Amino acid sequence: MILRWRLSIAAICICAVLLGCDSDPVRRTCSNATALSGFMSEFKMVQHQLRGYFKVIDNCSFEVSRFDMLPGADVCWWGAVSPGFDDITAGFVISDDKLNKTYRNDSFVVSLRENVSLDQIGVVTVWDVQTESDFGYVVLPNVSEVTSAPSPGGEMEGTRVYGEPTMLENCRVLSGDYQLRWTLDVDRDFIEIGLEAATGMQNYMAFGWANPNATSDFMMGADVAVTGFTEEGLPFVDDYHITGYSECIINKDGSASGVCPDTIYEPNDPIGSVNNTEFLYGHRRDGVSFIRYRRKLSVSDNKYDLPVKYAENATVIWALGLMSPPDTLRPYYLPQNHGGEESVAFGHLVLNVSEHINDCLGPIDAEDKEDQDLIIVDANTQLVVTSDEALHYPNPPNPAKVLYINKKEAPVLRVERGVPVKFSIQAGHDVAFYITSDPLGGNATLRNMTEIIYAGGPDSQGVLTSPLELTWAPDRNTPDLVYYQSLYREKMGWKIQVVDGGLSDMYNNSVVLDDQLVNFYWTLSKSSISIAARGEKKSNYLAIGFGSGMIRSYAYVGWVELNGTAHVNTYWIDGQDASSVHPTNENLTHVRCRSENGIITMEFTRPIDPLCSHSDRPECRNIIDPTTPLRVIWAMGAKWTDGGLTESNMHSATSQRPIRVLLMRGSAEAEQDLRPVLAVHGFMMFLAWGILLPGGILAARYLKHVKGNGWYKIHLYLQYSGLSIIFLALLFAVAELRGFRTASSHVKFGITAIVFAFVQPLNAYFRPERPAAVEQSSSARVAWEYFHVIVGRCGIVFGLVALFTGMKHLGERYGGENVHGLDWALIFWFSISALSVMYLEFQEKRRQRERIFGSSDWVLGNSDDDETDLLSPTANGKDSLSLTTGRMEVQLEPLNR
């Protein structure tokens, strides 16, 4: 409708001249009194910091007073049947007056158009026609209800609809971007306070009363309320008491000091007796936080709360600053030191809350009004499009359901020209996703607008079970700002920023680090490496580290201070606590760090080899070898500083495990947890090579003199069970790793050992017949026996080497600490075994000596070389003494002598 007006400017001008537009506020004699006359209401703020009072004069004019508003594109007075999305979008312009500036506590009268009267409409709205945005509105009472109500004269003189949470009686400017609003209710013994500031969503707003006895150090002993938003975006308020100039610290004995919630001082407090703040309302609009709460004037606990002596001058204090999210030690949102300058970040003033004050001239105009989540799209980012209930859609009014991308409500997307964007559309069949030049979408042709469609259309719809994959490649002709929307309904999507040369354009390689929350980019050159890292989650610092854990890592921390100064610092970390983070002096160049909507990006270039002259400094050992995998970890947190680090700099999110980045190849792999199947492989191999096979060999060597063929059976059983276990363990490893990779020494040694091991039963099967007892062995038999023994022992040696290389492998893969213990256990086991063998050998030699020189009837067969009758079950069994074990042999020694 407004378009038609614009198209016929000449007509408007003539009309304006005839009616004398704008020259006289009440230009039309409107005798037509209405039942609504005298009705007063507060405006409901929707956006653009709109505040003010509305009063009906007569059926064709109304008065607006104390009106605040940030300017829009094409803002006018708009009438509709109801504030619902469909009704209000179908409304119409009701006045020729435009709202084309910033309003600061302004008062004026608005006349309606000739053909419009107030009793036709249900809601009066401040409306931006271009963006279909509702800035704020007043709902008018139903005229028929009013007239039927028994009020004198049928008029609503004095009828007030007050109680908007954004409206308070008084207002006082605390600093440029921070306002205090309040309403005092002495009769009901409370004061309602609204704190409003243009500050980050992660920041707190604090306000409270100083100890009345204090003349300086107003913070000490003060009773303050701390307000802010949780990480989920929910507003809250808590009652705090200040006992020290520090962040809240809980001492060993459980007592607390610093800026702590009242409930921390009294952990066993029955609910609510020390907590005298009550949350009423909170929102975040146009980059401005507003939180309204109520506190009692009198107090029930004298320890942590101060009474508000409302009729007197009192010193109040305030501050703005960063808030630490809860951690396991302190499950509270805790304000950090506000820092900054007095009367910018903190301050105090004398206030008498019973006086009427309004020195807030105009709305708070935040520099950064965009609060939406930002998704920076890389070549390997998959964007999942769904639809869900609208909670904080950036441009109300909006339909009940809007688009979500990667679970974020209507986020801003940032894409790069030349980098294809992949969408997986699963928002239901009633959403046809498309990318358009029109800010509202919903088939702009219907609104008589032209639009350019860049991707998508009526067919771009899908559901979870059959998502539609859509690829869009923004090119150099794509404008800087386009929109993703649904073709069937307006205002479901939001903005797409199209930029040149994002990180994936500037760096040759990129990988995603653990948990998909940090992207890591790099470009290698001959002597230096350029690195960039970007967090995908809101935070105040981003750290990446080279190492397999926080301990013994080289860390690079990027952060941006409140005043916009950006830093990237380097550290060597050798412990878990703040004191183990040692600043280093690495030679970084091309350093950049920036934070956009809490998303931190840092970039730097460093030499591959630091080439220090003082090689005793830890950073001199921070050499990057492009040919070996670089282990990269990350962390994010609430606050970082140049100077002394404390527990408050603890990270709030961190990688679960390092990622091994292959710098030359441009890829990465996760560092796996010790996979159980491989652990079983290791244990089984130890069982076979460390116990069963050597046991079998020992049985063959040292138990020959046992009566019967016992040693032979033992040898056979042990070797066969060893071989079967080896076979199974090998299958486990091959199955787990999906095939052989013979590159590693472990696999080479292992295979050799297994080949040796499996040669044994084969050659045992083909062994030449043992000649009859007493005779000399055939030479074939002797040769075979030597072969069998040598192959067996070589197998064991290779097996042992394979065990140790396996351990080394384990160490490389999963970090050294745990593996060292296992290494030592293995070495201990083999030392014990070697000692036992030496003892047995000694016994055996002595026995042989006795056999040769003694008087016993032992001298049989091949007494000088026991190995020649290795496998014969009958060789010397019959005639030997019935000794079953080495121990018994020892006991029987005296008999033999």
Ligand X SMILES: *[C@@H]1O[C@H](CO)[C@@H](O)[C@H](O)[C@H]1NC(C)=O
Binding residues vs ligand X (CB under 6 A): 22, 31-32, 97-98, 100-101, 117, 211, 213, 238, 261, 263, 272, 275, 277-279, 312-313, 350, 352, 443, 445-446, 448, 458, 487, 561, 563, 565, 587
CB of 99 to ligand X, least distance (A): 8
Rounded to whole angstroms, how far apart are CA atoms 19 and 23? 9
Annotate 155-175 with DSSP letters as a single string: --TT-EE---TT--SEEEEEE
Beta strands in 370-517, from DSSP E residues, in sequence order: 374-376, 382-389, 401-405, 408-409, 412-416, 421-425, 433-436, 453-456, 468-472, 481-486, 495-499, 509-512
Annotate 571-640 with DSSP letters as a single string: EEE-SSSGGGEEEE----EEEEEEEETTEEEEEEEEESS---S-TTSGGGG----TTSPEEEEEEEES--
CB of 235 to ligand X, least distance (A): 11
Of 21 and 773, the one with the shorter C-beta distance to ligand X is: 21
Say which residue the tokens 């040692």 belong to.
Answer: 582
Say which residue the tokens 């209507």 belong to.
Answer: 410
CB of 254 to ligand X, least distance (A): 17
Of 33 and 852, the one with the shorter C-beta distance to ligand X is: 33
Asked if 336 and 239 touch (Cβ cutoff 8 Å), the reply is no
Q: Which two tokens stand for residue 6?
A: 């614009």
Q: Which two tokens stand for residue 527?
A: 């002597």
CB of 291 to ligand X, least distance (A): 12
Rounded to whole angstroms, how far apart are CA atoms 612 and 12? 78
Of 104 and 849, the one with the shorter C-beta distance to ligand X is: 104
Backbone torsions φ then ψ of 543, nearest 5 degrees? -125, 135
Of 304 and 798, the one with the shorter C-beta distance to ligand X is: 304
Of 332 and 634, the one with the shorter C-beta distance to ligand X is: 332
Of 431 and 661, the one with the shorter C-beta distance to ligand X is: 431
The neighbour count for residue 148, using CB atoms within 10 Å, is 11
CB of 445 to ligand X, least distance (A): 4
Angle formed by the axes of helices 710-737 and 745-765, nearest 10°: 140
Residue (of 281, 105, 261) closest to 196 by Cα position: 281
Rounded to whole angstroms, how far apart are CA atoms 514 and 387? 28
* CB within 8 Å of 247: residues ≥ 6 apart: 258, 259, 324, 334, 335, 336, 337, 646, 648
Of 295 and 705, the one with the shorter C-beta distance to ligand X is: 295
CB of 281 to ligand X, least distance (A): 13
CB of 610 to ligand X, least distance (A): 8
Q: Which two tokens stand for residue 77?
A: 């007075």
CB of 316 to ligand X, least distance (A): 12
Rounded to whole angstroms, how far apart are CA atoms 575 and 536? 27
CB of 150 to ligand X, least distance (A): 20
CB of 694 to ligand X, least distance (A): 57
Asked if 92 and 407 touch (Cβ cutoff 8 Å), the reply is no
Of 82 and 313, the one with the shorter C-beta distance to ligand X is: 313
CB of 283 to ligand X, least distance (A): 17
3-class SS string, 512-574: ECHHHCEEEEEEECCCEEEEEEEECCCCCEEEEEECCCCCCEEEEEEEECCCCCEEEEEEEEC
CB of 293 to ligand X, least distance (A): 9
Of 262 and 371, the one with the shorter C-beta distance to ligand X is: 262
The neighbour count for residue 537, using CB atoms within 10 Å, is 17
Of 22 and 389, the one with the shorter C-beta distance to ligand X is: 22
CB of 728 to ligand X, least distance (A): 56
Q: Is the dihedral of CA 195, 197, 201, 206 positive or negative?
A: negative
Of 142 and 763, the one with the shorter C-beta distance to ligand X is: 142
Rounded to whole angstroms, how far apart are CA atoms 656 and 378? 23
Residue (of 266, 295, 126, 280) closest to 208 by Cα position: 295
Of 586 and 671, the one with the shorter C-beta distance to ligand X is: 586
Of 329 and 895, the one with the shorter C-beta distance to ligand X is: 329
DSSP H/E element including 87: helix 85-89
Of 277 and 719, the one with the shorter C-beta distance to ligand X is: 277
CB of 563 to ligand X, least distance (A): 4
Asked if 401 and 391 touch (Cβ cutoff 8 Å), the reply is no
Task: State CA 278 to chain mean position distance.
Answer: 31
Of 450 and 477, the one with the shorter C-beta distance to ligand X is: 450
Of 155 and 889, the one with the shorter C-beta distance to ligand X is: 155
Residue (of 503, 512, 600) closest to 558 by Cα position: 600
Rounded to whole angstroms, how far apart are CA atoms 276 and 295? 6
Say which residue the tokens 């290791």 belong to.
Answer: 682
CB of 294 to ligand X, least distance (A): 9
CB of 365 to ligand X, least distance (A): 16
